[in-house]
Chains A and B, each alone.
Chain A
Amino acid sequence: MGGKTLYDKLWDAHVVRDNGDGTALLYIDRQLVHEVTSPQAFEGLRLADRPLWRVDANLAVVDHNVPTTDRDKGIADPISALQVETLNQNCREYGITQFGLLDRRQGIVHIIGPEQGATQPGMTVVCGDSHTSTHGALGALAFGIGTSEVEHALATQTVVQARSKRMLIRVDGKAGPGVTAKDIMLAIIGKIGTAGGTGYAVEYGGEAIRALPMAGRMTICNMSIEAGARCGMVAVDDTTIEYLRDRPYSPKGERWDQAEAYWRTLVSDEDAEFDRVVTLDAAAIKPQVSWGTSPEMVVPVDGVVPDPADEPDETKRAGMQRALEYMDLKPGTPIREIRPEKVFIGSCTNSRIEDLRAAASILRGKRIAKNIREAMVVPGSGLVKWQAEQEGLDQVFKDAGFEWRDAGCSMCLGMNPDKLSAGERCASTSNRNFEGRQGAGGRTHLVSPEMAAAAAVAGHFVDIRELEQ
């Protein structure tokens, strides 16, 4: 028999029972909870008079609805405020550990989990949120679930799951200067498409992935869902282990040694077989900019907006046409001539300290261009914000003309007051460029933090590789 993939190992270690109908009861080690997808789950528990199976497996935080300014004044929108207060109450009632609005550990759920060491290698991690795939960067099996499943996990510490097929995405060689994890991932999505990973558990490997720090691996795994895969993961190595050392919830003392020994087994065996293998050459990847309304609509920065006339597939051609209209772009326009009016640096994809450092390095001593109406940095967590301030990055951003905000999802989805207005064009480090995602009628271009910062300074997209010389 052949060896096991990382996914197989994680799966097998968590099967409580095989249901015999293609599904299994899978044990959940960690559930992350946020205010938007959890209220009905708690209500369901109450109606059925069910206790939590294991209170200490849950960690809650408010992120989607929260304002990023004037926190001490509370939340102005009464409906958002109620959703936040409901989570507070549920956590109090059930005894769940929660980082509240004014806690410095508060932040985007997928930032704070790894930051606190609350999500670890070998864990199964769920959350009522599709970007839960982020935590797979630690060598965990992490995926998003619906509200009924949130309740199911709260009540039983399990979810009913069918086993996925296994895909390896191998990025060989070294990425060039100015080419970030975000560019690698956008290139992957551009290659396999937004449904390419449907039905698969994806493992990312190869030299270029191994070379990434944890922050970059999280950026990659985060956007697995944009490639259609519910979960993405990276095998454990020294980078993973060093990242976890001394995190608040990481195991301590003897338990650390025990855990580390186990974690080091969390790699795919040499002879493991995947159902599909996709390879990319890192050296060939250039900085990426999305031009359309789906994450697969992406081109290198030195390219042009594609022409639907060149697309043989009729459905795709129609989709491109619609996207061009929505984005108000003409085929053949050089990407470098596209001029955003807003710049957003944030979201669970790119709001870690490494992302802020990278953006600040471009902005040091510069000012945003006149056509940029608003540029904001929304750190992924209160602790990221604090760290950045220790390093003086806040001053760099402010001097350049950026707003320096409090942590949350913010303009990634515009559920709080941070939104695009109709017709506004934004260089954004987030993960979805769907119609209306950042605000009704808003136009999103997905880029790396460096590319967003460079666009803010130039007033149009620029090839970061030229700046760096």
Chain B
Amino acid sequence: MEPLTRVEGLVAPLDRSNVDTDAIIPKQFLKSIHRTGFGPNLFDEWRYLDYGEPGQDCSNRPLNPDFVLNQPRYQGASILLARENFGCGSSREHAPWALADYGFRVIIAPSFADIFYNNCSKNGILALALPAETVQALFEATEATEGYRLTVDLPEQVVITPEGDRYSFEIDPHRKHMLVEGLDEIGLTLEHADEIRAYEQQRRAVTPWLFEDLGPA
């Protein structure tokens, strides 16, 4: 996973509350056997005027001109500004996969659904919560100023506006460490490989039958 320390990027505002993971990536795409390639289908039902099917070439599909991410001024955005309870609904990890594949590294909202919040940090996305008034101010600034950019400094736990306003945010140390170091949880766990091996050795002595081979299929 790419380390996430300081992100300076274009902001796209998605002005809806309770955006669920079904909206983020509709169910027909879950038949995919890959973790990548969901970007073109991010927000599929809002983004296109036709019904999307897995495996389709999206470049020729009719775009919904009213959907915010289709507006030229938000192309290349890496920070998504959203409303409360973002990512609610099903636990599908395809949702953060699609957001990351599209190019988002940071999502700012007043609140997030639990599972989605966890899934984000496992996939190199910083989901950060700011007070609703702050988010409101950021929405206004983003919509008023074309090319509005924010700087998010994770080690310092602060969001910095072009005007120099600084908004600090909370994040638990475990999650922060994972994101800053660019570690997925597997990477973190493998730092303790010796302890896993030691556990196995001791366990093998006490309960040897748990280590028997299942043999060929």
* Contact assessment for B54 and A79 in the assembled complex, using a CB-CB cutoff below 8 Å: yes
Answer yes or no: A152 CB below 8 A from chain B CBs.
yes
Min Cβ gap A259→B in Å is: 5
Other-chain residue from A19, A82, A97, A160 in contact with B33 (beta carbon distance below 8 A) = A82
Of the 9-residue stretches B135-143, B158-166, B189-197, which lies at the interface with chain A? B189-197
A160 touches B185 (CB 8 A): yes
Q: List the A residue with the shortest CB-CB distance to B188.
A: A160
Q: Is the CB of A152 within 8 A of B186?
A: yes
Can you list, as one digit per residue, whether each of B176-217 has a CB less than 8 Å from chain A (1) or not (0)? 000000001110011011011001100100111111111111
A123 to B211 Cα, complex, angstroms = 11
- Number of A-B residue pairs with CB-CB distance less than 8 Å in the complex they form: 109
Q: Is A300 an interface residue (CB 8 A)?
A: no
Closest to B203 in A: A27
Within the complex, what minimum Cβ distance (angstroms) separates B2 from chain A?
13
Cross-chain contact B186 with A156 (CB below 8 angstroms) = yes
How far apart sit A151 and B190, CA to CA, in the bound complex (Å)?
Answer: 13
Query: How would residues 246 to 259 of chain A score, 1 for a CB under 8 Å from any chain B CB and 0 otherwise?
Result: 00010100011011
Chain B residue nearest to A87 in the complex (CB):
B33
Chain A, range 77-135, C-beta contacts under 8 Å to B: 79-80, 82-83, 86, 91, 97-100, 103, 118, 120, 122-123
Please give, as numbers and ranges, the residues of chain A lying within 8 Å of B119 by CB-CB distance.
Answer: 146, 148
Q: A79 with B31: in contact, given A25-B196, A29-B210, A156-B196 (CB under 8 Å)?
A: yes
Question: Which of A16, A56, A80, A152 is close to B192, meaning CB atoms less than 8 Å apart?
Answer: A16
CB distance from B103 to the nearest CB of A (A): 18
Tell me whether B208 and A255 are in contact (CB under 8 A). Answer: yes
A42 → chain B, closest Cβ, in Å? 9
Query: Hey, which chain A residues are within 8 Å of B213, CB to CB?
Result: 56
Of A40, A97, A123, A155, which one neighbours B215 at CB under 8 angstroms?
A97
Q: How far is the CB of B114 from chain A (nearest CB, A)?
A: 12
Inter-chain contact A21/B217, CB cutoff 8 Å = no
Q: Mark each residue of chain A from 30 to 62: 1 if its CB lies under 8 Å from any CB of chain B, else 0.
A: 000000000110011000101001101001000
- Smallest CB–CB gap between A28 and chain B, Å? 10
Partner of B186 from the list A50, A82, A122, A251 (CB cut-off 8 Å) is A50
Binding site for B on A (CB under 8 A): 16-17, 19, 21, 23, 25, 27, 29, 39-40, 43-44, 48, 50, 53-54, 56, 59, 79-80, 82-83, 86, 91, 97-100, 103, 118, 120, 122-123, 146-148, 151-152, 155-158, 160, 249, 251, 255-256, 258-259, 262
| Beyond A251-B212, A255-B208, 10 additional pairs, beta carbon < 8 A | A17-B192, A25-B189, A25-B192, A25-B195, A43-B36, A59-B214, A99-B217, A123-B210, A158-B189, A158-B196
18 A-B pairs with C-beta separation under 8 A = A16-B195, A17-B195, A21-B174, A23-B174, A43-B34, A43-B35, A53-B196, A56-B212, A56-B213, A79-B31, A80-B31, A97-B215, A122-B210, A146-B91, A152-B186, A155-B189, A156-B186, A262-B206
Q: Which 8 A-B pairs have the closest CB atoms?
A: A39-B33, A251-B209, A40-B35, A97-B214, A16-B199, A156-B189, A56-B213, A255-B209
